[in-house]
Amino acid sequence: MTSQRLRNSPIPGTRDSYTGVDFNLGFHIRHYRLDLDYRVEPNRLAGSATLDMVNYLPLKRLTLDLGPSLKVSKITTSGSGAVRVEVARWRHARGKLLLTFDAEIPVDSEFTLSITYSGSPRPVRSPWGTLGWEELENGSLVASQPCGAPSWFPCDDTPDEKARYDIIVSADNPYVVVCNGELVERRRSGSRTSWHYRTEHVMATYLATVQVGQYTEFDAADFDPRLSTPAPSAAPAPVPVSVFLPAGKAPAARVEFADQVEMMRLYTRLFGPYPFARYRVVVTEDDLEIPLEAQGLSIFGSNHVDGRKEQERLIAHELSHQWFGNSLGLAQWNDIWLNEGFACYAEWLWFEHSTRVPAAEPARRHYRVLSRLPKDLLLADPGPTLMFDDRVYKRGALVVHALRCLIDDDAVFFAAIRRYTAANRHSVVEPIDLRTVMSAACTEVGVPVDTLTGLWNSWLHNVALPPFPEPRSRTRSAG
């Protein structure tokens, strides 16, 4: 039951070659319960993390990831069956919490760690800047990709180790707390309110989030002119869509998010059922450099919501990550093009739907840009320095477009995408999973396997830029 990781992905040694963080080996965390008491003004966090675990190796000690700004004060254990071990000692240094038990925990034991900690949460330093818990002018946010989750809770911070969560945050009134999952309870006590969220589906640590601010919740359907009474011209959203706004932002948000529900309808048709119970958007009072992704929600800065509707592609991009990146997670970071390539192509699909401009047009435009840039990026393994390079996003999107052109039948192509998202729903993926469904689609339309192999290798495993992809029918007629 627990003798393997979530996937059979090889682990290169004991260190993630992208984040540079040592792997925490020997166990899985099945569930996190995070009881957090947060004081906004001093940015002070007091937390208790309860981790339900099972081990696939015998354990005399283990490590967890935890940022240096948080101090551990107590660790206890409990277990079932023959597991009766205690934590003999622990040490917290250089972002690792090392626990040593008084006896070895046998393989396939179920046990619980309860860790009490506190401090002023700060982002952790990384090659991509600071990541994780960030104090705002009037609240806080969490944006952890790829390795910032230890800034606010002890965890196994690697993308393929998904778990379920209960996140309970107590904050001062009138602050609103928005987290992943469903709000199962909101309890007010004096000048503070406790917010309890629970995820129905497993989630990667970097996608866990806490958003704290003075927000008002709006129904995005009210922003959609297609749904205006008395004669709506479109069906309601497949799931509830909410927008959390600071004071004064509603008029601009009505413009910026007017198409949010329609985007949800489009992507549900193209990619399959929306993977979660609802979708939330949070707009912070602060400006943000880029929008931020979390499971079941997206975060935008006030600068992204100014009523000029210039961020439409970013709104589409972040929504599509709920399929590609959140439901379908990554087994390892070198495959990040699977997340960002699909999200970038989803932008082009939205404009194909909303403006009738074929996706081939932005594809060709970005291909021309790529043709002028250095040819030193290997899409299958871009490396940590280039993993967030725009060339990963655009070349990844061009892979998706090339596959669409190769199949040259949208009914078959999007049916294959829906099989891909359905087969790997709430799991992790590797490129072979996409290639497998595309191979079946190629067989369906009579494309030789060798042709798909050639396309795959030229785009993913060579740095040279292949010719711009054209539909198979045009290639045949040109020949």
Give 194-229 pLDDT, tens digit per residue: 999 999 999 999 999 999 999 999 999 999 988 865
Q: Does residue 8 have a pLDDT over 60?
A: no
Distance (Å, whole) CA 97 – CA 91: 6
5 pLDDT above the threshold of 60: no
As beta bridge partners, residue 28 has 54
pLDDT band at residue 232 using 50, 70 and 90 as cut-offs: low
Cα 479 to Cα 460: distance, rounded to the nearest angstrom? 26
CB 399, CB 460: distance < 8 Å: yes
Q: What is the pLDDT of residue 385?
A: 96
Check pLDDT > 90 for residue 11.
no
Q: Is the predicted pLDDT of residue 181 greater than 80, yes or no? A: yes
Maximum mean pLDDT: which of 81-85, 159-163, 231-235: 159-163
| CA distance linking residue 124 with residue 122, whole number of Å | 6
**Tokens (6 digits) for 219:** 């129904």
Q: Can you list the positions of beta strands (E) in 40-191?
A: 44-55, 59-65, 70-79, 87-93, 96-105, 110-119, 124-126, 129-136, 139-143, 164-172, 176-179, 182-189
- From residue 371, alpha-carbon distances to 394, 463, 464 in Å are 11, 11, 9
CB 464 within 8 A of CB 457: no
- Give Cα 81 to chain centroid, integer Å: 36
pLDDT at 2 over 70: no
Nearest-10 Cα torsion for 393, 459, 367, 428: -20
pLDDT of residue 1: 33
Cα–Cα distances (Å) from 99 to 61, 64, 103, 158, 389, in that order, read: 5, 8, 12, 19, 37
Please name the residues in contact with 86: beta carbons below 8 A apart, sequence gap of 6 or more: 76, 77, 101, 102
Which pLDDT value is given to residue 434?
A: 98
More confident residue, 85 or 316: 316
* Strand partners for 63: 98
pLDDT at 13: 52
Q: Which residue has the tokens 């450099």?
A: 289
Q: How confident is the model at residue 10 (pLDDT cuts 50, 70, 90)?
A: very low
> Does the reported pTM lie above 0.85?
yes
Q: Which helix (H) or strand (E) holds 31?
A: strand 27-39
| Percentage of the residues of the chain whose pLDDT score is greater than 90 | 91
* pLDDT category of residue 36 using cuts at 50, 70 and 90: very high
Q: What is the mean pLDDT of residues 433-449?
A: 97
User: How confident is the model over 88-130, as pLDDT tens digits?
Assistant: 999 999 999 999 999 999 999 999 999 999 999 999 999 999 9
Which residue is associated with the tokens 């996937």? 7
- Residue 457's SS3 state is helix
Residue 475: per-residue pLDDT: 52
Region 1-28: what's the mean pLDDT? 69
Confidence at residue 318, expressed as pLDDT on a 0 to 100 scale: 98
Q: Name the least confident of 233-247, 296-310, 463-477.
A: 463-477
Contact at 8 Å (CB) between 396 and 340? yes
Q: What letter would DSSP give residue 335?
A: G
Strands 27-39 and 164-172, how do they pair?
Answer: parallel
* Overall average pLDDT of the 272-300 stretch: 97
- With both helix axes pointing from N to C terminus, report the angle between 449-460 and 431-445 in degrees, rounded to the nearest 10: 140
Structure confidence at residue 227 (pLDDT)? 80
The answer, yes or no, to whether residue 291 has pLDDT greater than 60, is yes
Nearest alpha carbon to residue 334 among 386, 401, 402, 376: 386
Task: For the beta carbon of residue 382, count every other beta carbon within 10 angstroms.
Answer: 23
Where do the domains of the chain lie, and which CATH numbers do they carry? 27-210 (2.60.40.1730), 216-322 (3.30.2010.30), 329-478 (1.10.390.10)
CB 87 within 8 A of CB 100: yes
Average pLDDT, the chain: 94
Query: Once rounded to an integer, what is the mean pLDDT over residues 73-85?
Result: 84
